[in-house]
């Protein structure tokens, strides 16, 4: 292990800024961007980072909230899924902007902008968020392995450590290979849910009405609580760090015009990818509503319970199998990107440079150790509580990533003419305020025992 001098330099020092290594150095500016050619050719060059971010919006934590919401309230909470995705699209667009405009990821900017008394707590909170994210993804993957192959939950959690070597191999071949894997798995996940939707035969008129906000979401305390869970499970802190780094894998022209073009195409890439994630999340909720809510099974929250009920309710084992396959693909996809997020956070905040294999194993162990311990102690009975706890931790940490993001998006000194438009700043700060208010409510409910 090699720790360079800049790893211990004060975060706000000029030396720290001057010697900042590039984000994800193995793939930094490794994808060529054509100077000529049509719109589609340039869009294809920029496509990829958005899909790596999108997988975090369809992880097992989203499954837990979507299953609970769909089984309990039918299609009503589709409007919350839509609103959450629109928030995510704006926040990820701002991530692409600051990553391209500054050449820094969010972790590096926090280290350079804030004193050590602020940047170190932000680093610890970011690590906690990645640990919580990975916890849900590891548990979801292990559940899928158990449902499909009968592998005990504890062994399934430990098997997920192998993805660290998969990432190393793919990164060695180039970031395009990693993006191709992620995109291919997303397409397979979407295909699984297309078949499931056809088998569940939802009432499409009610589905469309579900995307319109209902007053019951505010007046019904249980609906409001699950709605907060959907919001917390959708906007992921680690994605904000990851996106600011992976957009720098493109070798755009480093002048103002080139950066403006890069921001435009990177925003389009992430917006299309997150729209696809919205469709997947909607499909989970619609399937739960059509299969469970309409049959009177309104308290289905456990993934294992949903799997067991699906075959007898639909009269086909195919739907349950595809359900488990999609869960496995979501878990594998999300653990890949969460591990990359761990690298971005560790290197950006600490400037800690390790051999790639050591770095990957450390970021994986940070998440896998608590998952193994809790699974060993509680077994299957603790999986639902683990998923819920992971989303609560994410919700509590989210403001500590969103607020710095908004500060940098409006920082004209760093972004210059590429500073975010005023409307994006206004809406972004409103989203940050909403997240803080929801967190206060969650804490108040916890202390008041509601």
| pLDDT score recorded for residue 384 | 62
Pick the CATH number of 34-448 from 1.20.1740.10, 1.10.10.60, 2.40.10.10, 1.20.120.420: 1.20.1740.10
Whose tokens are 């009269």? That residue is 315
CA-based nearest residue to 135, from 316, 331, 307: 331
Cβ atoms of 290 and 200 within 8 Å: the answer is yes
31: phi then psi, degrees, rounded to nearest 5: -105, 120
Across the chain, which has 450 residues, the per-10-residue mean pLDDT values are 39 46 83 84 91 83 81 91 92 96 94 93 88 77 87 80 69 79 87 86 92 85 78 78 93 91 95 92 90 83 77 76 86 77 87 69 70 69 64 78 95 93 96 84 66
Domain spans, the chain:
34-448
Angle of helix 317-350 relative to helix 175-200, nearest 10 degrees, comes to: 150
Q: b/e per residue, 132-142, with b = 16+ CB within 10 A?
A: bbbbbbbbbbb
Whose tokens are 């932000």? That residue is 122
Residues in the chain: 450
DSSP conformation letters of 125-186: HHHHHHHHHHHHHHHHHHHHHHHHH---HHHHHHHGGGHHHHHHHHHHH-HHHHHHHHHHHH
CA distance 66 to 297: 14
| pLDDT score recorded for residue 409 | 95
Strand, coil or helix: 31: strand
Tokens of 310: 């699906």
CA distance 138 to 373: 12
CA distance 203 to 201: 7
| pLDDT score recorded for residue 446 | 63
Cβ atoms of 130 and 338 within 8 Å: the answer is yes
CA distance 445 to 427: 27
| pLDDT score recorded for residue 19 | 54
Angle of helix 221-234 relative to helix 383-397, nearest 10 degrees, comes to: 70
| pLDDT score recorded for residue 303 | 78
Cβ atoms of 287 and 74 within 8 Å: the answer is no
Kindly report the pTM of this predicted structure.
Answer: 0.87
| pLDDT score recorded for residue 393 | 73
CA-based nearest residue to 419, from 429, 409, 427, 428: 409
């Amino acid at each position: 292990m090699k720790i360079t001098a800049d790893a211990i330099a004060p975060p706000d020092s000029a030396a720290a800024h001057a010697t900042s290594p590039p984000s994800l150095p193995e793939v930094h500016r490794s994808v060529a961007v054509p100077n000529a050619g049509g719109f589609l050719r340039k869009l294809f060059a920029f496509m990829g980072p958005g899909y790596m971010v999108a997988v975090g919006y369809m992880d097992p934590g989203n499954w837990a909230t979507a299953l609970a919401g769909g089984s309990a309230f039918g299609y009503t909470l589709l409007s919350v899924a839509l609103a959450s995705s629109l928030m995510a699209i704006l926040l990820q667009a701002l991530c692409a902007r600051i990553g391209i405009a500054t050449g820094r990821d969010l972790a590096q900017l926090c280290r350079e902008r804030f004193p050590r008394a602020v940047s170190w707590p932000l680093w610890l909170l970011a690590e906690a968020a990645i640990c919580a994210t990975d916890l849900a993804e590891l548990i979801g993957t292990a559940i899928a392995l158990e449902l499909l192959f009968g592998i005990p939950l504890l062994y399934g959690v430990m098997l997920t450590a192998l993805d660290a070597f998969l990432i190393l191999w793919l990164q060695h071949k180039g970031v395009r290979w990693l993006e191709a894997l992620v995109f291919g798995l997303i397409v397979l996940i979407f295909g699984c849910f297309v078949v499931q939707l056809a088998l569940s035969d939802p009432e499409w008129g009610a589905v469309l009405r579900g995307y319109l906000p209902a007053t019951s979401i505010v007046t019904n305390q249980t609906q409001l609580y699950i709605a907060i869970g959907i919001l917390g499970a959708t906007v992921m802190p680690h994605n904000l760090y990851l996106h600011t780094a992976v957009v720098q894998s493109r070798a755009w022209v480093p002048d103002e015009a080139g950066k403006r073009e890069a921001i435009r195409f990177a925003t389009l890439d992430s917006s299309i990818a997150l729209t696809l994630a919205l469709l997947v999340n909607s499909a989970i909720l619609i399937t739960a509503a059509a299969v469970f809510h309409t049959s009177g099974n309104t308290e289905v929250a456990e993934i294992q319970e949903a799997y067991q009920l699906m075959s007898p309710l639909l009269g086909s084992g195919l739907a349950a199998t595809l359900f488990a396959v999609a869960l496995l693909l979501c878990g594998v996809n999300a653990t890949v990107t969460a591990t990359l997020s761990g690298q971005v956070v560790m290197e950006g905040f600490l400037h800690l440079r390790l051999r790639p294999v050591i770095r990957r194993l450390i970021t994986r162990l940070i998440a896998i150790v608590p998952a193994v311990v809790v699974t060993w102690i509680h077994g299957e009975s603790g999986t639902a509580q683990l998923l819920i706890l992971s989303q609560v931790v994410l919700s509590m940490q989210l403001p500590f990533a969103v607020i710095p993001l908004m500060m940098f998006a409006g920082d004209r000194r760093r972004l210059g003419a590429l500073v975010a438009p005023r409307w994006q700043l206004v809406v972004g700060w409103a989203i940050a305020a909403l997240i803080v208010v929801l967190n206060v409510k969650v804490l108040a409910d916890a202390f008041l025992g509601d």
